[in-house]
Amino acid sequence: MDGQSLPTPRAKPPKPDIEAMIYLDHNATSPLRPEAAVAMTRASEIGGNPSSVHARGRAARAVVEDAREAVAKLAGARTQDVIFTSGGTEANALALYGAVYGSLEAEARITRIFVSAIEHPAVLANAAAIAERVAGVRMAEIPVTADGIVDVEALRAMLREGKGRTLVCVMAANNETGVVQPLDQIAKHIRDAGALLLVDGVQAAGKIPLAFDADYLVMSGHKIGALEGIGCLIAKEGAPLSPLVAGGGQERGKRGGTQNLAGIASFGAAASAAASLGDMPRQTALRDRFEAELIRRWPQTIVFGARARRLGNTSNFAIPRVAAETALMALDLDGLCVSSGAACSSGKVKASHVLSAMDVADDIAAGALRVSFGWNSTDSDADALLASLDKLVARANPRAAA
Ligand code: PLP
């Protein structure tokens, strides 16, 4: 050393205690359920490829097939129609590309994709890419009402107009508002029009029954307490489906690649745990109490989609003069995890296409906070959030608080 003093290291900001944080962002991802953790560990200890014929391979295969059965049960579907994928995004892409390419040679070729304006980007972006790349295929958006419900009459009019087979994409429930879509009604009109229906059931799975007639249904493991990186497409027999990823013939030749055994095992266990929907009345009561308290404390609070049927775990609201961007940071510092908009863009604050489609003004949408309860949420979590919001609102309205 030459006697010169070393620069003083800058103090690192303290690391947040992740374990102690209150997690109210289950629509973004729901923490691993204990049952899923056990199943995943057991599966990863097998050390066999589900396609191998020896005993270890057969043991791995049994895990995959048991999980397939559990996942099909959650969806009320046939076991053999389940195709495991890397998640909800891939499953939506497989359905969209698979349906369009799978029908190219058929007499009833898909030439139109109608997508509800509130779909997740996993549907919107893939549908747009197909319309851009595949000659003769166009895409159109189905509007929604101010309550965030797909406008069924507008869809009927769109189906009547023009020619060509149509693939209609309507999610079962929205990830931002939790608004549940009238799929029974929609499915009937789609049948009458000879169209095909793709339902993104990622948020609805494990929260409401998935009892509707879809040609393609998508689910994702991590939204129900399984690992991230696992999901499925359930494609009805006879629905056109060309594989996106060809390979060694796995998943009935519809999705090549050695299966994600631990992920699939966790998905099966989480699906079994969620299938009864047994925890939903408790989560709904928790959410309803939280919203009642929001309105009691700040009567000007707007709850988006409040007049519609919603998932019992989801609350998307704006408190006047509280900006979502500021709120997210302040809540984070208080040890609370919530979201400001679309699940997959948690952390990024940008105008929500869902709220815009519901005609919510930009300045109101800029205050939208999404709280999503889940299997491990408690009353005291909601109370802690309310206490933190109290501080925030007082800071935003200093004169009112004085
Ligand atoms: N569809 C909806 C409605 C979602 O909320 C999400 C994720 O937030 C996805 C699809 C994407 O699923 P995954 O994260 O498994 O790719």
Amino acid at site 255: R
Can you give the C-alpha Rg of the chain in angstroms? 23
The rounded Å distance from CA 321 to ligand 1 centre is 30
Please give all residues whose beta carbon lies within 6 A of any atom in ligand 1, as ranges: 87-89, 120, 122, 171, 175, 200, 202-203, 220, 222, 231, 343-344
Tell me the residue length of the chain. 402
Express each pLDDT in 282-337 by its tens digit: 999 999 999 999 999 999 999 999 999 999 999 999 999 999 999 999 999 999 99
Looking at ligand 1, which atom is closest to the CA of residue 174? 3
| Residues sharing a CB contact under 8 Å with residue 105, sequence separation 6 or more, in sequence order | none
User: 27 alpha carbon to ligand 1 midpoint, in Å?
Assistant: 9
Containing 183, the helix (H) or strand (E) segment is: helix 183-192
Minimum-distance ligand 1 atom for the alpha carbon of 29: 8
pLDDT tops 80 at residue 401: no
Can you tell me the distance from the alpha carbon of 386 to that of 307, in angstroms, rounded to the nearest whole number?
22
3-state secondary structure of 386: helix
The pTM of the full predicted model, rounded to 2 decimals, is 0.94
Residue-wise pLDDT for 74-122, tens only, equals 999 999 999 999 999 999 999 999 999 999 987 789 999 999 999 999 9
Count CB atoms within 10 A of the CB of residue 284. 17
Determine the residue type at 322: V
- In this structure, the residue with its CA closest to atom 12 of ligand 1 is 88
To which residue do tokens 């040890």 refer?
A: 335
CA dist list (Å): 230 to 222, 227, 333: 7, 7, 31
Q: Which residue has the tokens 């309550």?
A: 147
DSSP 372: E
Split at pLDDT 50, 70, 90, the class of 14 is low
Q: CB-based contacts of 401: which residues, under 8 Å, 6+ apart? A: 393, 394, 395
pLDDT per residue as tens digits for the range 248-271: 999 999 999 999 999 999 999 999
Residue positions annotated with a catalytic role: 344
AA identity, residue 151: D
